[in-house]
Chain A
Amino acid sequence: MRMIVWGLLILMLLLIVALPTVMLVGFGMMPGLVAMIIDRTEERSATFCVGGLNFCGVFPYLMELWFGDHDLGQAMALLTDVFVLAVMYGGACMGWMLYLSLPPVIASFIQVMSERRLQQLRKTQRDILQEWGDEVITDADLGGDGLMPPEHGAASGMPAAAE
């Protein structure tokens, strides 16, 4: 509650002091705001992803406003320029695209890495069993259920003396 009061207070102050900036940011960052509202995850990855690139699209016009005429007319001119809107919302769009396309790529990469690691670990286990015998499984207190490397055959587990 306290945060909302403070937020409204600051917004009121900004409306008084920098109304054109507030207007540009408010309208320009709309996709980021939407992303923030719909992103319910704890990490807020979508918000950061969309919001970040959205801000990237808004910032050149914000600079133009700050370093040019900082008035409502200029702000309105920018907001009514289709190209400007396309740049600002295009940034947000790029953010969404990045957010939606990168995880599968990363996941595939991780999957491949994991498989590779699994193979390495199973090979290590197989080597251990070949050198030290199946009793390692019992002594490792693992129960041996499903943890035996699939390639490990009965012959390789036979005690050397009995072979």
Chain B
Amino acid sequence: MTKLPTWADVVLVPVISLLLAAFFAAIVLLAIGQSPTQALTVMVNGALGSAYGWGYTLYYATSFVFTGLAVIIAFHGGLFNIGGEGQAMLGGLGVALVCLYLPMPHWSLTLLLAMGAAMIFGGAWAAVPAYLQAKRGSHIVITTIMFNYIAAALMIYILVNILRPDGSMDPASARFSDAVGLPKFHDIPILQDLFLKYDAEGALKLGKDGLPSYQRVPANVTFFIALAACVGVWRLLWHTKLGYEIRAFGKQEKAANYAGISSFKIIMVAMILSGAFSGLMAINNVMGQAERLLQNSAEGAGFIGIAVALMGRNHPLGVLLAAILFGFLYQGGASLGLETTIPIELRTVLQGLVILFTGALDIMVRMMLGWFFSPRHAQAKGAA
């Protein structure tokens, strides 16, 4: 197979894969008697057409950045961490415990504590499969999947038996106090101006107190932490001894031993870091949005992270872009459910197609492009 030029590999392959996914999504829509163009318009308008839409898209993207980064850290170490979902649930538990029992006078201090707790809980949940892999050779893919189920069961037990407030029927914790709520985009000075409400005449809508009122969106300061995390993971993997060792181990385990890199240490550290980043996602959804711990708080973001990492070519920048794409699919899919008769489940189909074409069938696109870039093709073109 011809090696593609870098620009084609990085830009052309994902774009063509996406177009293919869109093409097949259109066929599915036609098959259920819906208009693909209308669906696309609704999705784009709903997710990207307004500051309000972006406020949701970026909220979802923030979660996916964390779980995507988690997958790539482990993957560079040659470990396939499927357990992001469970690690994110445990991270949520850590966040909830801090917010419920250790609230600080200022939200930023609580946030620091909550981040620490999320990373420790998520990391610890990943540490057990890591240990089993490093010491017992139990395959990490199997054990991390099993730990997702264990995490789900554990969360139900804790929510129902321990954290559920008296008298509540909901398997959920009590609501966090207002003091620990994270600033949303509509609370942040300057940024909030994008979310001002206007009335039909185009004049500012004022609240009862005479101040302008804002559209409420779930995107919050965690988004900026996610951006910082991308930079951090990039520095970690390509600029530190630890990153060097993780990548060397991931490429050639045998050679890593020759260089004196301990496989036990790398498996443990890479997985704990991976679990910590999965756990960190909880500050976005649990602390930033729900403001209490719900059952199934991760909502599948742990699994989306795998697709995001695949599509992002295991690079933090790619993860960021892919996370925004999946945020668009999530929010756009929700708009479909609200504004059209297309069932909301269609977004699962869309995600499936995107994952199929960008992840699994990506080699097919590469082969087709390879033919275009092959010297023989260039010669044939020159001769014609």
A is bound by B: no
Contacts from B to A (Cβ < 8 Å):
none
A-side residues, CB < 8 A to B, are none
